[in-house]
Structure 1
Amino acid sequence: MSDEHTETGTGWPQPAGPARPGGPAGEPDPRPEAPDPDELSPLSPQGRPEDDDAPPAEPIEDPPAATGAEPVAGAARWRPFSSAAVMIGVLLVLLGFTLAVQLKTTSSDSSLSAARQEDLVRILYDLEAREMRLRQDITSLEESQRQLRSGEQGRQAALEEATRRADELGILAGTLPARGPGLAVRFQAGTKSISASRVLDAVQELRGAGAEAMQISGGDRASVRIVASTFFLDGENGSLIVDGRRLTGPFTITVIGEPATMRTALNIPGGVVAQVAGDGGNVIVEDREVAEVSALHVPSTLEHARPVA
């Protein structure tokens, strides 16, 4: 090989004279205007537009990775999760949700689960009695609505309905006397005096059983009407303070309502009759075909509350 070389731009020398293949295929094109094949070659220095004196091009380096992180040799390739792993994850999520719901349900029902059997019976009985009263009220209101829409009798029916409502509200507020079937509940003290809490329990049980009007009387025949705002306090020597008035024993509650229902409410296990008997006393319940509640409650004057139009 000759010592004379030509730069090719790739970093490798090339012989000065072009090597032509032998044989017929290596002969030049006989046409005088045909270009030299070496000038058309992209690797030939004659086919490059640059000057012959241009410095050799430097080799092009590969660009760095787009993420800027160098590849780690032998790093494990990412593998997708299998269907079994996905199923296990879903089951774990469902198990956690079930445990959370169970915990919330258990915590919300803790009060009922810890209650005594007597308390549960009382709650159930109060709910049944309340449901019965609400059904009766619905029937009465539907009948009133039908009468008010009847046309010619609408005016008279509206007046009668207003009068009836006024009487009912007067009885409930204690501003009107009332009479009807009911009970007379008499408390007899034993080793312990009849406390205000026992009387209040009896009033609450009678209200839950559908009592419509009540009054309490003492041994001196003094009576106090029992309304929604009535309060009971223990007085001296076994007496009671009812709405600020002192009553001495024995105490008698006169109540108007369904006698059988109210009697059952008083005699439920753990009720007032059982509690007073546990204190050594006695509760005598008598049916009255006509019970009279004549004591009246004086309503207080309202200073701030006003009806909504």
Structure 2
Amino acid sequence: MKKRRLKIPSKGRIPISIVSLVLGFILAFSYSISSENTEELSLVSSQFNEQEKYKEELILQKERNKELTEEMNDKQQAIRDIEQSLVDSEGNIEGLVNEAEMLRLLIGDITSQGKGIAVSLVDGAYDPSQENPNDYIVHESHVFKVINELKISGAEAISINGQRLHANSFIRCTGPVITVDGNIFPAPFTIEAVGDPSVLLASVNLGGGIVDQLTSDNIVVIVEEKSKIMMPALRDETS
């Protein structure tokens, strides 16, 4: 007996081909979307984990900085307690302790507050008949003159536009701005000093002294007595 092969009418072959083509397209599109979603989720997860890692490291660093600050404050207090005990036991140590305290004030290791003076330096009014406008601008040389005079007169702490100075402070004037230890301040420049106001005023206002010298350089100088000046320790400003 011969086997008879099932014949599909030619009219039925076309719909089956179309259905197969559509199914293939749907499967391919679904796989593409799934792959893209997987890659996006993987990227987001990686970024999130990296951010969490940085956050944890930052928190740990802040906690460590806080511990170090507290440890430093404890050691400073311990040193001062020892110094005070030495003063109580031996009167001749008092001078050394006072000198150490003054050195700490000068380097900005402890807070300084008290009476003092403020010296403001303002650019002079430019005269168009003059050739060089720089002759009417405050330069670092003018600032240094005031600072040196205040130090010689016994100022225990000095600041420029609120930025406290230390032994190795870097000061530079560039046109209308001044750079103090990397921080930029606009003119006018106000130099404050904590110390005996009567001594400081007499020093800067001395005939032929700082005020007269700067005035002759076309700089406007304003000197004021201050009843209270507060300068935080440099480490407090840093933190």
Pick the aligned partner of 1:154 from 89, 94, 98. Answer: 89
| 1:200 match: secondary structure | helix
What are the ranges of 5 or more consecutive residues in structure 1 without an aligned counterpart?
1-146, 218-222, 299-309
Normalising by structure 2, what TM-score? Answer: 0.51
Q: Which residue in the other structure is 1:216 paired with?
A: 160
- What are the residue-to-residue correspondences of 1:1-309 with 2, within 5 Å? 154=89, 167-190=101-124, 191=126, 192-217=136-161, 223-235=162-174, 237-294=175-232, 296=234
Contact 2:157 2:194 in 1 (8 A): yes
Amino acid at match of 1:179: Q
Counterpart residue identity of residue 155, structure 2:
A
Instruction: Count how many residue pairs are aligned between Structure 1 and Structure 2.
Output: 144
Higher helix share: 2
Distance in 2 separating the partners of 1:206 and 1:165: 18
Report the alpha carbon displacement of residue 226 of structure 1 after superposing the two structures with TM: 1.4
Residues in 2 aligned to 1:154 and 1:208: alpha-carbon distance in whole angstroms: 33
CA contact (8 A) 1:224 1:296 kept: no
Code of the residue aligned with 1:294 in structure 2: it is: P
Deviation at 1:252, TM superposition (A): 0.8
Q: What's 1:104 paired with?
A: none
Counterpart Cα distance in 2 of 1:272 and 1:162: 32
Structure 2 gap ranges (5+):
1-84, 127-135
Give CA deviations for 1:194-213 in whole Å, capped at 9, x if unaligned: 11100000000011111111
SS at match of 1:211: coil
Q: Shift in Å at residue 184 of structure 1? A: 1.3
Q: 1:159 to 1:270 in 2, by over 3 A?
A: closer
Q: Match for 2:112: what amino acid?
A: A
CA contact (8 A) 2:171 2:180 kept: yes
Higher relative contact order by CA 8 Å / sep ≥ 6: 1 or 2? 2
Matched residue type, 1:185? V
Q: Which AA in structure 1 matches 2:212?
A: A
Contact 1:239 1:248 in 2 (8 A): yes
What letter is aligned with 1:213?
A
Offset at 1:214?
0.8
Alpha-carbon offset, residue 174 of structure 1: 0.6
Determine the structure 1 residue equivalent to 2:65. Answer: none
SS at match of 1:207: helix
Secondary structure of 2:234 counterpart: coil
Kindly indicate whether the alpha-carbon contact (under 8 Å) linking 2:102 and 2:156 is maintained by their aligned counterparts in 1. no
Q: AA paired with 2:165?
A: I
Structure 1 residue 297, shift from structure 2 partner: 5.6
For 1:286 and 1:245, the matched residues in 2 are separated by: 25
Which consecutive aligned stretches of 4+ in structure 1 deviate over 3 angstroms post-superposition?
157-169
TM-score, scaled relative to structure 1: 0.40
Shift in CA distance, 297/238, structure 1 to aligned 2, threshold 3 Å: farther
One-letter identity of the residue aligned with 2:159: Q
Aligned counterparts of 1:209 and 1:255: Cα–Cα separation in 2: 10
Q: Which structure has the larger Rg? A: 1
Q: Deviations over 1:207-234 (max 9, x none)?
A: 11111111110xxxxx321122123212
Identity %: 31
Q: Decide whether the 8 Å contact of 1:186 with 1:251 is kept in 2.
A: yes
